[in-house]
Structures are given as C-alpha cells and as structure tokens.
Structure 1
C-alpha cells in the first residue's frame, strides 16, 4: 500500500517566509548601498553573503509532502527524502494545537518550513516536519515523538491505521 499526502503551506508559514526573505534580502542588498561597503572587499562579503547563505541553507529543508509505504514514512524534501520507520508506532492522532507553546531547540522556525527539534510541556522533545500549524498530526513511539502537517490529517491518520503492521492499528 502506498499513500501520498501533500503538505501545503499555511498562512503563518507564507507570512514568515516572506518576512524572513525580505529582511535577509534587505540586509544583503544594503551592502551595495552602504558607503563603507561599496568596494567588494572582505567587509562587503562579510555583510552581503551570510543572509544569502541562510536562505540557501533553509531552502533544501522545505517539506513537500509525505508518502506512507512498506512500513516507512517518507518525508519529501526539496532535494531528498527523509525516511522514518513506522515499526513500533504506538499512536497517530490529529492534535489541533500540538505546537502551541513549543520552543525550537534546533532547526528552522519559519523560513520555508517549521522543521527540526522542538520541546513543549505537553509533548516533551519532538521532531517537527510542519508547514501548517492548523493541521498537525502527532506520531508517538516509545522513544520519540514526531509532529507533521499535511493537507488531510484525518486521511493520513486513517492510512496509518490501515497499514498491515499491527502496531499501527493501536488507537491509544
């Protein structure tokens, strides 16, 4: 069985991505306007290059969608797929405010995705693959938790429960 799910950008991600891009592009472009940086020397590159590198570094981590197949969850990124084995999955549920009150401990907080490692009182430490805060799905294993978002969270959870693996049929 193979099920694919799109991961559209929510309004919050669209706005944060535009804002981050404009701010970083402005910082980079100011290197051309600042009188002291008009000559392309070390100071110019030190000022203009880091914002471009930050944007270029965030782009590959875009979450394009998800595929459930052969007992694994594939997270489709811009340039690669992240493979997450589903063996031992204890629960999958739609949790409307799963990321509320979360702190990012390592990762990207709004430049083209909300991805990386996060922590919250309700979930503890977890890994996020989120484009839309309004459609989160929480996956729990004994040793880890993952939060993701897709266009149809209910269908995603139903697909996990339909898998042949007995662990995925657990409701709790």
Structure 2
C-alpha cells in the first residue's frame, strides 16, 4: 500500500506543475498580437484574426461547465461552455475584470486588471 501513497503524491505533484505552467502570468497586446504569458510558453492571438474585443461581467460566464481544465486551482484555465457564450477558452486568475476576445474560430475570456484600457488599445489597433 505504500506504493499507492507515492503514486497519489506523484499524480498530485504532476497535476500541480501542469496547472502552474499554464497559469496566466500577464496579458498584453501590441500592434500585431494579444499574448498571454505562461511558464509553458505564451498563447498568442494575431490581431488579424480578432473580430471583436469587449469587457464583460462575471454574469457572462455564470452557469459555465468546465469541459477540460482547472476551475480554481491556479486560476480558471481551459475550455468551458455555457448558454451565453457557447464554447470558449478561459485564462483568468480572478473572475473580476474579464475581457472577451472573439476570433474567427474561437472565443477567449481573459482576466485583466484594466479591462477598459486594454479593450480601447486593441480596438484602436483593429481599426487600422
């Protein structure tokens, strides 16, 4: 039975490291892309693929079902779905100050400390 304790510890440790590696560290935008910095590489969304960006309230994600990912430990990471947004990918460390980014193929929800400024910056780049 000692091997079971080690196995459970190993599963917990690997799960913790995976969540830590995909946890969003920073959300930033420049003239070419929106990028979410993570320990396991950045998620980059070219602005040429972005259709819209808007701040949203927590009510937009109420009733969401996590289909794959983490729902609290290290943030809200992974794939979710609900009646309001349908299927979407979320990288959020908190559920305040959310931003919805729609591309041609996907929807992303990010947490952002200054969502209005982020949205205004990206929208100004999209109009060019």
Does the alignment pair 1:142 with 2:99? no
Q: CA deviation at 1:115?
A: 1.1
CA contact (8 A) 1:61 1:113 kept: no
Give 1:114's match in structure 2, choosing from 62, 76, 91: 76
Give 2:88's match in structure 1, choosing from 119, 122, 126: 126
Q: Structure 1-normalised TM-score?
A: 0.67
Structure having the higher Rg: 1
Does the alignment pair 1:62 with 2:23? yes
| Cα gap change, 1:149 to 1:49, in 2 (>3 Å) | same
Provide the C-alpha distance between the structure 1 equivalents of 2:4 and 2:79, rounded to a whole number of angstroms. Answer: 34
> Where does the alignment leave 5 or more consecutive residues of structure 2 unmatched?
none
Q: Structure 2-normalised TM-score?
A: 0.88
Q: CA deviation at 1:100?
A: 1.2
CA contact (8 A) 1:71 1:86 kept: yes
Instruction: Kindly report the root-mean-square deviation, in angstroms, between the aligned alpha carbons of the 2 structures.
Output: 1.8
> Where does the alignment leave 5 or more consecutive residues of structure 1 unmatched?
1-36
Q: CA deviation at 1:143?
A: 2.2
**Greater relative contact order: 1 or 2 (C-alpha under 8 angstroms, separation 6 or more)?**
1
Instruction: Name the one with the larger strand percent.
Output: 2
Residue correspondences, number: 127
SS in 1 for 2:61: coil
Give 2:8's match in structure 1, choosing from 16, 35, 47: 47
